[in-house]
Amino acid sequence: MRGHKLLNILIFVGLIAGVIVGFLLLKWFDSQDLTGAEIGQKIKWLATAGDLILIRPLKMLIIPLVFASVVVGITSIGDPSRLGLVGTTTIVYYFATMFVAVVLGAFLVTSIRPGDGVSQKIDFDQVRETFENSDTSPKKKIEGAPKDLGGAWSNILRQVIPDNVLGAAVEGQPLPVITFAILFGLALGFLGDRVKPAVDFFEAFFQAIMTLVGWVLWLTPIGVFLLVAWTIASLGGEAIAAVGKYMIVVITGLIIHGFLTLPLVLFLFGQTNPYRFMWRMRPALMTAFGTDSSSATLPVTIRTAETEGECSKRASGFVLPLGSTINMDGTALYEAVAVIFLFQVFGIELGFEALAVVALTATLAAVGAAGIPSAGLVTMVIVIQAVNTSLAGTGKPELPIWSIGIILGVDRIVDMCRTTINVWGDLVGAKIITRIAPDDEDQRAAAMG
Ligand code: ASP
């Protein structure tokens, strides 16, 4: 227990030290008149070191962990009717909370209007040029990603129904592995006692991976320090000046969703003290903030939920892996705010119908976003295209895709905040589902209060 406490303190210290060093570097480079992108390049070694020390070790564990935890989760839920209830409740929870997040984001951005007056502060030619030509431009990623609703759906469906699960595993795609693990777990459950050694094997496999996660966790303080320092230093004063208000709107939305909406949902449906639970989940939340990736954080999320959050293996083995790729409340909120903000910058007014399109497609775009850095930025194109299509025939101009370049400079910091809320949403789901699928009677009694 003392080890846990020390680790939590160290992660916190790493995070705060990262913020302080990041701001000091930012100030220092700013005085040399460097832009955010230039600073980012100059101190790229910080990001590379953070990648080597924390992100890669965590990523190494993801696929084996996803497979083992889902198999163990599904086999231990057992009873097919309970499994149906857990599955349905989980999916309803994911979509309902994402939709609420989108509506909140749309409400805030249409009332505060952070896009008004921004166009005078921006050099559009330069934004376009940077978006299309720079080395770090997301243009290439966007070109390879689906751009319309049909493409997005079929992309998700192809992952949900994979033809080559090993190929997907090799490419590090969790969703196809989850599908296979659910089916495999069902088959093991169906065969019952005859395959008990296999069930025991996966249980032991899962425990071993969890032990590895425990070891990697000790790298978190230094990894988080390096990554946070790099992100803050490469923000660049010029980016914040133009889109600071937009950042404030996204972060305010994330705070309201994370500190009010989700706690309320947890209180009502999980009968848990939400803030105490949030406090206990801080290793996972701080790792999410530092790594900028729900998938990379997943090993820490599962471990923290089980060891410190009293979530059942049944609930966390299923809700957390699936949630890390599907359930993204923070990303959904951000997509809505960012798209409406960009339309505001270009002076294009969106009516109710267009806002409804934003709400629906932002939810889907968040589902389609992988749990990796900047994934939401890429799937945002789906939302922009859908709104552009809905505007056809109204006489209003289209929003160019390169307009995404306007928010590029601050996206990493916004991404860290939304990733934290994505992971928090998954944890709240796991705690709620623990009530339906506790591991034993003691836990059931505790979950029922
Ligand atoms: N980085 C986010 C996550 O991993 C996804 C995104 O919004 O870009 O959850």
Give the model confidence (pLDDT) of 294-315 as tens digits: 999 999 999 999 999 999 988 8
Q: With the C-alpha atoms ordered 415, 104, 249, 106, is the resulting torsion angle positive or negative?
A: positive
**pLDDT tens digits for 225-278?**
999 999 888 886 666 777 999 999 999 999 999 999 999 999 999 999 999 999
Instruction: Tokens 């994370």: give the residue.
Output: 258
**Closest residue by Cα to residue 181 from 197, 163, 165, 201:** 165
Tell me the C-alpha to C-alpha distance, in Å, between residue 177 and each of 162, 172, 181, 283, 417. 8, 9, 6, 26, 27
What's the angle, vertex CA 57, arms to CA 52 and CA 60, rounded to 5? 125
Q: How far is the CA of 331 from the centre of ligand 1 (A)?
A: 6
Mean pLDDT of 157-181: 91
pLDDT in tens, 61-101: 999 999 999 999 888 877 777 888 889 999 999 999 999 99
Q: Give the end-to-end CA distance of the chain in Å, rounded to a whole number.
A: 24
Q: Say how many residues make up the chain.
A: 449
Q: Right CATH number for 2-448 from 1.10.3860.10, 3.40.980.10, 3.40.50.300, 1.10.10.10?
A: 1.10.3860.10
Model confidence at 407: pLDDT above 60:
yes
Check pLDDT > 90 for residue 332: yes
**Residue 229 CB partners (closer than 8 Å, separation 6+):** 17, 18, 19, 21, 22, 25, 46
State the average pLDDT for the chain: 89
Which of the four pLDDT bands, split at 50, 70 and 90, describes residue 130? confident
Asked if 178 and 66 touch (Cβ cutoff 8 Å), the reply is: yes
pLDDT for position 38 = 81
Lowest mean pLDDT of 77-91, 97-111, 208-222, 376-390, name the range: 77-91
Residues sharing a CB contact under 8 Å with residue 70, sequence separation 6 or more, in sequence order: 177, 178, 181, 182, 185, 317, 318, 321, 322
Q: What percent of the chain has pLDDT over 70?
A: 95
Q: Give the mean pLDDT of 2-28.
A: 89
Which tops the pLDDT comparison, 29 or 357?
357
For a substitution probing ligand 1, which of 227, 250, 293 has the most ligand atoms within 8 Å of its CB? Answer: 293
146 vs 216, higher pLDDT: 216
Single pTM value for the model: 0.90
What is the arithmetic mean of pLDDT over 18-41? 85
Q: How far is the CA of 325 from the centre of ligand 1 (A)?
A: 9
Provide long-range contacts, Cβ within 8 A and 24+ apart, for 26-34: 26/232, 26/233, 26/234, 26/235, 26/236, 26/237, 29/233, 30/236, 30/237, 34/236
pLDDT at residue 287, as a whole number: 96
How many Å apart are CA 352 and CA 356, to the nearest integer? Answer: 6
- Whether residue 253 contacts residue 337, with contact meaning beta carbons closer than 8 Å, is answered with yes
* Cα(332) to centroid(ligand 1), Å: 10
> Taking CB atoms and a 6 Å cutoff, what residues make up the pocket around ligand 1?
292-294, 328, 331, 369, 371-376, 415, 418-419, 422
pLDDT bucket at 143, cuts 50 / 70 / 90: confident
